[in-house]
Structure 1
Amino acid sequence: MNTEQILFACLQEHCYFKLSGELRYTNATGMDDLIEQLFEQEQPACAQVVVDLNDVTFIDSTHIGLLASLARHCQQHQLPKPILFSTNTEVNQLLKGLCLETVFDFAEHPTNQAIDLTPVQVEQHSDDHKGKMILRAHEALLDLSDKNRQEFKPVVELLRKQLS
């Protein structure tokens, strides 16, 4: 059983994401849609972004790419680095291994915020739309480091070929 859940709240220009469970590409469109929606305006709804991964049990490269994309949007809008909370050693090793510590401020402790978060609604998308989302997420990973570029370039090239 997949207990993946994405919760969100925006309070006083602080955007809070709480992700939990197994985060796989098959359930990434809700997160992607939310990120695009938040940053499509010239003046984004967020002045500060906080991501809580404390309840994540598994995260795949697509979701990591979405996190990289979120951080890139923050950079493009001259916002502070997003803060990422995670106490899961394996998740932290994976995120740092893919250079997310260069675009996030890591806080390796629990959050104690009592914020009323709302589940993110997942829209049904075509396979083509999902494929483009997976491609964008992996392209965001390429931009983080030369190591990522070497590791994910074949994946990105294959996705591009399949989508053309």
Structure 2
Amino acid sequence: MGRMFLVRTFGLLAALLLILQTLDLLSESGSILAHPGNTQAQVWTYVTLRAPQIIAFLLPFSVLLGTILTLITMNQNSEVIALKAAGLSAHQVLAPLLVASLGVAAVSFVFNERIVTRATATLDQWKDVDYGALPIDRGERTNVWVRDGDDLIAVQQVPASSSRWAG
């Protein structure tokens, strides 16, 4: 049951990702290719940077639809009735789904923290330069918030050389 849930969830995720990525690419490919020098390679770069955002958006819907399809299939095949007749409670019937869902939630959390945040930051920087060449990161940061005791201070720019101060 857990395997059926996971296969359906990630199958739906792949199908929805393909549809939404295609529609998003149709709307953005003109802007990407409008910049002089951009080719098909930059379009594929956009796809790899945008796909994690779409996956993070669609995963909860895919889990919901995967759960519904799994339970509908089990109901149509009278598997739920057979499990109840064998003496299993509703909690025992749903336990594999709960374990699989917790696994998907853990994977989603790690994916969002490790991949989505970095891809989003890179894509935002790339959009800011109208899909041109990304500027070289020299360590300067803008719009930084610093805490000094109980005070919160907004700093407009922190130069790269400030991290090398002799203390």
TM > 0.5: no
Structure (1 or 2) with the greater strand fraction: 1
- Structure 1 or 2, whichever has the larger Rg, is 2
Structure (1 or 2) with the greater helix fraction: 2
- Normalising by the residue count of structure 1, what TM-score does the alignment of the two structures yield? 0.22
- Normalising by the residue count of structure 2, what TM-score does the alignment of the two structures yield? 0.22
